Amino acid sequence: MSLNRLSKSAIISVLPTELIRWEVHYYPALDSTQTRAGEIFRREGRGGIFVATNFQGTGRGREGRPWTAPRGQALLFSFILLPGHADLEIHLLTITTALAVCNALRIHLALAPEVKWPNDILLNGKKVCGILTEMVKSDTKETGVIVGVGLNVNQRAKDFSGPLTETATSLRLVKGRHIPRIPLLGAIMRSFEEYYFLYQKGERGEIIRGWKRDSAMLGRRVSLRSGRREVQGTVIDLEDNGALILRLDTGRTESFLGSDCRYI
């Protein structure tokens, strides 16, 4: 079995099953793993659905931004959870997933990734991974969360054009070698199950401490856009629900959920 070639059997061989028994759907090409996972959940109404592809034509990130990657060069997958908590928990699930990816990159590839709130993972200051979490309802009214992951694995410099040349990177560019995708996927999902187990036990403190360990944001000045409002301030903490706490330039302290954030 090729360690880089995605297939249903290869994915099943590396997914952990201790916590979740995954139902794997693999497509050589797809419009969007996030969209397909939502379609399956609306029809079936259960968790443990795992959707992966080798190429997606209309992949998307937060606020509908496009997420593209050359065929066969990235890890592109979405999965469905039934966390059984309030809607606001979606933000903590984003952070939980980001920590899992960081942990896998640290252990599997000896890298030093950073979490950039709310949903980016950086290497050497450039984005290598994006995470998208969305609520979804089934036809029979069950509520699930779709977690989507787009990880740049084997792109070369020529695969990034325009502004991406300054803001994006891949594992191959950082490590200087080709990275087999199948073992990496297994490492990510094993790490995710460990963090998701903490999440299910309500051990938010462990997740928040993990964010503080893997984040370079504490003490940094940022510009944050929440709806039509844009504010500047210094990051001072993270709340238990995943909200970012800023000390604004006005002197006030506020917390924000699901907002765009950039360093200044």
Do 225 and 189 have their domain in common? no
Average pLDDT for 242-258: 92
Grade residue 13 by pLDDT with cuts at 50, 70 and 90: very high
Per-residue pLDDT tens digits for 33-81: 999 999 999 999 999 999 999 999 765 555 555 556 788 999 999 999 9
Grade residue 242 by pLDDT with cuts at 50, 70 and 90: confident
Nearest-angstrom CA–CA distance, 234 and 222: 6
Per-residue pLDDT tens digits for 53-66: 999 976 555 555 55
Do 256 and 192 have their domain in common? no
Q: How many domains would you assign to the chain?
A: 2
Question: What does DSSP assign to residue 243?
Answer: P
Do 145 and 255 have their domain in common? no
Do 19 and 88 have their domain in common? yes
Do 201 and 238 have their domain in common? no
Nearest-angstrom CA–CA distance, 160 and 156: 8
* 245: CATH: 2.30.30.100
pLDDT of residue 256: 93
Do 209 and 226 have their domain in common? no
Do 237 and 148 have their domain in common? no
pLDDT of residue 68: 65
Do 206 and 226 have their domain in common? no
Nearest-angstrom CA–CA distance, 143 and 11: 26
Q: For strands 23-27 and 49-53, give the pairing.
A: parallel
Per-residue pLDDT tens digits for 95-113: 999 999 999 999 999 999 9
Do 55 and 168 have their domain in common? yes
Residue at 135 is within a domain: yes
Q: Which of 49, 70, 58 is nearest to 31 (CA)?
A: 58
Average pLDDT for 126-145: 93
Do 192 and 226 have their domain in common? no
Grade residue 164 by pLDDT with cuts at 50, 70 and 90: confident
Residue at 1 is within a domain: no
Do 206 and 231 have their domain in common? no
pLDDT of residue 202: 87
Does residue 131 register a pLDDT over 90? yes
Residue at 163 is within a domain: yes
Do 71 and 118 have their domain in common? yes
Range of the domain at 238: 221-263
Residue at 87 is within a domain: yes
Q: pTM of the predicted model, to two decimals?
A: 0.92
pLDDT of residue 216: 83
Per-residue pLDDT tens digits for 168-225: 999 999 999 999 999 999 999 999 999 999 998 889 899 999 999 999 899 999 999 9
What strands lie across the sheet with 253-256, from one edge to the other? 253-256, 244-248, 229-238, 221-226, 260-263
pLDDT of residue 66: 56
